[in-house]
Structure 1
Amino acid sequence: MKTSGHDQTIGLIPCAGKGTRLGLPFSKELFPNVHSDRYNPIIFYTIEAMKKAEISHIIFTINPEKADLLRFLGNGEKFGMEFTYCIHPIPRSLPESIHESYHLLKEKTVLFAMPDTFVQPYDFLLKLRQSHENSADQREVTLACFQTNHPDKFGMVELRNEKVIRIEDKPVQTELNWMWGAMIWNPAFIEDLRHFIEYNKDRTEKELILSDALDPLIKKRLVQAACFDEGLYKDLGTYNEIKEWSRMNL
């Protein structure tokens, strides 16, 4: 994979959400893997996927109530990696959580994935990174896309020859069946995100959506998809999803 000192690829995992849907007395990222015979919290899947993708440094955005997560993960030494934490004191939206770490992400290529998901194949972030870096097509962002039966929980993606045409966020009904679950972006996108937040933060009371920040690049046909036809993406944000996951034969 192509690397350079100026354009080093870094990992980003957002952990600033409060996990109110689960109501756990601990950070939701520390929920145990029910398929393991020892304690492996769900966030390990994403960390290990980052490591498989040859990421050595991960930025975590975190809210002040998640000291247990910080204590458990530490500085990354036990993973053979380097961890940096960026505090988001008042979590409002995913774009704003990402922007909290702007000073760490600027001029970087960023590999972004969620902390409370179970994804197959296990090397999906490596394949996403390879798709992005080895493509001959001009692109600024590549989305990891999976098929889903729960479009109301995800950003649903319309594709044309693996180019992203539009993203419909959490539709109640849709003809689309691909959702995005992770992404990698070039350094320019963090500047686009910064402008998106500065423009919208005082103009709307609605939660800012990351898909909306991608819209200008989508219109320019600079957002591509890496589709995992045989992949599996489970968002473990509710008890129903956890119960469904626990019954799977993995």
Structure 2
Amino acid sequence: MKALVLAGGKGTRLRPLTHTSAKQLVPIANKPVLYYGLDAIRDAGITSVGIIVGDTAREIREAVGDGSRFGLEVTYILQEEPLGLAHCVLIARQFLADEPFVMYLGDNFLVDGITDLVDAFREADYDAQILLTKVAEPQFYGVAELGPDGEIVGLEEKPEHPRSDLAIVGVYTFSPAIHEAVRSIRPSARGELEITDAITWLIDNGRRVHSHFVGGYWKDTGRLQDMLECNRIVLEGIERSVRGSVDGFSEITGRVVVEPGAVVENSVIRGPAVIGADTKINGSYVGPYTSIGEGCLLENAEVEYSIILGDSAITGVSGLTYSLIGRNVEVTRAVGVPNMNQLMVGDHSKIQVRA
């Protein structure tokens, strides 16, 4: 069995951050989202992985390499234009050959991985298996309608009046029958080959399409609030580990990771939180659910419930919360009345805030 990982796309909902960075490489607890997916694929017993790349191909290649660090063998497949998920299957035909495969959208986050999904598919005789989860607002998702035995009888894309509350999660398993399906459909109104249309083709032609439910936590990490929520979930499960330097004037409370080379001086850190390697924190407060990347500087600053990417500096700023800060960013104090700040800042930026 193989895996097809989709790591193209423009990440428009995370702009301006994704103007200069692949959305799949934005970190959760200092680990890129894409890495969680690759680990899940390996843990499910799959080692041959094709990665669909687009405009951010160079960055994805640099981050993943040949896949050996994950225990995988990686092949890169270029999608020159974003022409749909089914188009990804179409252009990966040579790599996939006639083997069954799992298709994994690289910006999806599943706490419990995909082993149960893959095992169920291997044991059954399905042509497609779709991962589903119940949601409160199904009108914002692709929605599946099930038959009495869990078979999928219909799919809708963001329906005004949903027939169920079962949202389609971005992980699928397919038999080679999907190749005929993607060749048989036509582009949708938005000019893309839709995977839901290909699955509908399978259903209409008597193929077995079944459901599988998410066993744990799932998020599509396409928005700021989703990234911060995933960060919170992962940090809830960390164990305390202080391998950097913490002076006697600092207070470390709860589940806090301080990576090697990090320096904490005259500061308060309340977990769960992660402090990246070679980061310096001086005279500052780091509150719960915060991830700070490597090589950062926090000086006379206060931050909580936020993600700060590597090599950024925050100085003289208090009340920073619910924020996603890109790489090589400088956030400094401006003259004025203190207030709370919410920031989503792209890479290589310099900003001033009232603090």
In the TM superposition, what whole-angstrom CA distance separates every residue of 1:98-129 from its partner, at most 9, and x where no partner exists? 3221221131111111111211323xx21111
Query: Which protein has the bigger strand share?
Result: 2
Asked if residue 225 in structure 1 is aligned to residue 225 in structure 2, the reply is: no
Separation in 1, partners of 2:68, 2:228? 32
- 1:120-199 to structure 2, matched below 5 A, reads 120-122=111-113, 125-135=114-124, 138-160=125-147, 161-181=149-169, 182-196=171-185
In structure 1, the residue matched to 2:283 is none
Separation in 2, partners of 1:153, 1:84? 33
1:85/1:141 CA distance change after superposition, 3 Å? same
In structure 2, the residue matched to 1:243 is 228
Counterpart of 1:236, as a letter, is T
- 1:95-114 to structure 2, matched below 5 A, reads 95-114=86-105
Counterpart of 1:21, as a letter, is R
In the TM superposition, what whole-angstrom CA distance separates every residue of 1:56-76 from its partner, at most 9, and x where no partner exists? 111001014331111110001
In structure 2, the residue matched to 1:15 is 7
Counterpart of 2:150, as a letter, is E
Seq. identity, %: 23
2:181–2:202: 8 Å Cα contact kept in structure 1? no
2:127–2:207: 8 Å Cα contact kept in structure 1? no
In structure 2, the residue matched to 1:3 is none
In the TM superposition, what whole-angstrom CA distance separates every residue of 1:146-190 from its partner, at most 9, and x where no partner exists? 122242443211112210011111224424111222111111212
Q: Which moved more, 1:80-89 or 1:212-221?
A: 212-221
Separation in 2, partners of 1:118, 1:164? 23
Scaled by the length of structure 1, the TM-score of the pair is 0.84
1:146–1:231: 8 Å Cα contact kept in structure 2? no
1:80/1:221 CA distance change after superposition, 3 Å? closer
In structure 1, the residue matched to 2:263 is none
Asked if residue 59 in structure 1 is aligned to residue 50 in structure 2, the reply is: yes
SS of 1:21's partner is helix
In structure 2, the residue matched to 1:88 is 79
1:175/1:120 CA distance change after superposition, 3 Å? farther
Report 1 or 2 for greater relative contact order, CA contacts < 8 Å, sequence distance ≥ 6: 1
In structure 2, the residue matched to 1:73 is 64
Shift of 1:210: 0.8
2:4–2:50: 8 Å Cα contact kept in structure 1? yes
Asked if residue 210 in structure 1 is aligned to residue 198 in structure 2, the reply is: no
Counterpart of 2:99, as a letter, is K
1:120/1:172 CA distance change after superposition, 3 Å? farther
Separation in 2, partners of 1:103, 1:179? 31
1:105–1:190: 8 Å Cα contact kept in structure 2? no
Shift of 1:143: 1.2
Q: Which moved more, 1:166-175 or 1:47-56?
A: 166-175
In structure 1, the residue matched to 2:39 is 48
Query: Which protein has the bigger helix share?
Result: 1
Scaled by the length of structure 2, the TM-score of the pair is 0.60
Q: What is the number of residues matched between the two proteins?
A: 229
Structure 1: gaps of 5 or more residues: 1-8
1:171/1:232 CA distance change after superposition, 3 Å? farther
2:134–2:165: 8 Å Cα contact kept in structure 1? yes
Structure 2: gaps of 5 or more residues: 238-355
Counterpart of 1:105, as a letter, is L
1:221/1:245 CA distance change after superposition, 3 Å? same
1:14–1:98: 8 Å Cα contact kept in structure 2? no
